[in-house]
């Protein structure tokens, strides 16, 4: 069995999971797979694994249900590549049970009692209970947000976890250095990697208006409003909270690498982020990089007066209104600069 390794779903349907029966076939499929890109992810690695004689495919996943604040198990006796269609068309074939919630934790015994009614086959239930219980321990021990086995394959030798996906909680990775080490830099563009190292959240887009914003919600709203105004954002950049002037300098350095930029918008509302820290960062970046692009600054909130004075002493000006700042950058981008 050849399985292209990419960090996205839908691999079977994209043709990068294939059974092979000879060396030649393996070679020719591998060549095709290595030239394939699935949802923007190029296939660079292939897992070669034993071809199983699969009689039936189950589905088992442990994940977080955020509404009820629970850890739940989703099981189906109809697993495989069509599981999402089955969930949509025949939801009765998908069963859910709470593993950890308001009533505490389910017991291994209770889980084993519940499974036969779902799988419809007693002979596999004990094996399934064991695999699922191990998945559940893996989930807790490694701060996961998803442990999915699909297919959980029924073979003559019993149940086999034939393929799995695991998603780790971003907030939990810091206490698992062995998982942090699995981080794969190939998944990111150069700019995104640099931003990651600087502790920023950054996504490249294809426009000409560079954006530096504090907070993910405001950053998304800024990008939305630029588009509604007829402009084209070049990126999403969330500076995060409690920012240090150096973070502002790193952000501007990353923005300036983009040759398509016509204007930069800095949209900051200080809460835990102090406007004087931001102003200091802007002034340092200006001195360091000799920025020639127009810089539109919108800066209000904690310590705004101090920041306003620092900027005006450095010959810069901050706007107070976000709509005004958005209108200004979209105009500048259209005309290639102020006036």
**Rounded to whole angstroms, how far apart are CA atoms 328 and 310?**
22
Question: Looking only at residues 254 through 313 of this chain, which bind another protein when binding is defined by CB under 8 A?
Answer: 268-274, 300-302, 304
**Rounded to whole angstroms, how far apart are CA atoms 339 and 96?**
61
Which region among 45-53, 110-118, 236-244, 282-290 touches another protein (by CB under 8 A)?
Answer: 236-244
Residues 6+ away with beta carbon under 8 Å from 137: none
Q: Do 311 and 318 contact (CB within 8 A), yes or no?
A: yes
* 246 belongs to the binding site for another protein (CB under 8 A): no
* 333 belongs to the binding site for another protein (CB under 8 A): no
When binding is defined by CB under 8 A, the residue of 47, 51, 180, 228 that contacts another protein is 228
**Rounded to whole angstroms, how far apart are CA atoms 237 and 203?**
7
Question: Looking only at residues 188 through 207 of this chain, which bind another protein when binding is defined by CB under 8 A?
Answer: 203, 205
Size of the site for another protein (CB under 8 A): 73
148 is catalytic: yes
State the binding string over 39-68 for another protein (x if CB under 8 A, else -). Answer: xxx-----------------x-xxxxxxx-
Please tell me whether residue 63 adopts helix, strand or coil conformation.
strand
How would you label 272-307 residue by residue, b for 16+ Cβ within 10 Å and e otherwise?
Answer: ebbbbbbbbbbbbbbeeeeeeebbbbbbbbbbbeeb
Nearer to another protein, 15 or 323 (CB): 323
The one catalytic residue among 57, 148, 192, 304:
148
Q: If we measure between CA atoms, which residue out of 280, 288, 283 comes closest to residue 315?
A: 283
* 69 belongs to the binding site for another protein (CB under 8 A): yes
* 98 belongs to the binding site for another protein (CB under 8 A): no
188 is catalytic: no
* 106 belongs to the binding site for another protein (CB under 8 A): no
Active site residues: 59, 148
């Amino acid at each position: 069995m050849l399985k292209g390794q990419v960090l996205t779903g839908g691999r079977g349907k994209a043709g990068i999971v294939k059974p092979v029966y000879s060396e030649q076939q393996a070679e020719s499929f591998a060549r095709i797979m290595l030239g394939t890109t699935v949802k923007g992810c190029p296939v660079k690695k292939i897992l070669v694994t034993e071809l199983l004689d699969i009689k039936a495919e189950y589905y088992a996943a442990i994940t977080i249900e955020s509404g009820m604040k629970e850890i739940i198990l989703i099981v189906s006796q109809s697993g495989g590549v069509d599981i999402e269609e089955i969930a949509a068309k025949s939801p009765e074939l998908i069963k859910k049970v709470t593993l950890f919630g308001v009533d505490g934790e389910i017991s291994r015994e209770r889980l084993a009692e519940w499974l036969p009614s779902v799988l419809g086959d007693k002979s596999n239930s004990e094996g399934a209970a064991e695999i699922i219980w191990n998945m559940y321990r893996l989930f807790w021990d490694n701060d996961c947000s998803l442990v999915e086995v699909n297919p959980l394959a029924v073979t003559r030798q019993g149940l086999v976890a034939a393929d799995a996906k695991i998603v780790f909680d971003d907030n939990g990775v810091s206490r698992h250095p062995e998982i942090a080490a699995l981080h794969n830099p190939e998944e990111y563009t150069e700019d995104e990697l640099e931003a990651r190292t600087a502790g920023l959240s950054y996504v490249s887009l294809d426009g000409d208006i560079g954006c530096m914003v504090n907070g993910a919600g405001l950053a998304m709203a800024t990008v939305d409003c630029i588009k509604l105004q007829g402009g084209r954002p070049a990126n999403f950049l969330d500076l995060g909270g409690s920012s240090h002037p150096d973070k502002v300098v790193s952000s501007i350095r990353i923005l300036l690498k983009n040759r398509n930029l016509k204007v930069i918008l800095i949209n900051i509302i200080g809460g835990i982020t102090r406007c004087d820290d931001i102003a200091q960062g802007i002034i340092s970046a200006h001195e360091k990089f000799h920025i020639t692009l127009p810089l539109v600054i919108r800066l209000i909130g904690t310590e705004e007066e101090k920041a306003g004075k620092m900027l005006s002493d450095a010959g810069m000006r901050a706007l107070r209104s976000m709509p005004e700042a958005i209108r200004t950058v979209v105009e500048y981008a259209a005309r290639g600069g102020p006036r």
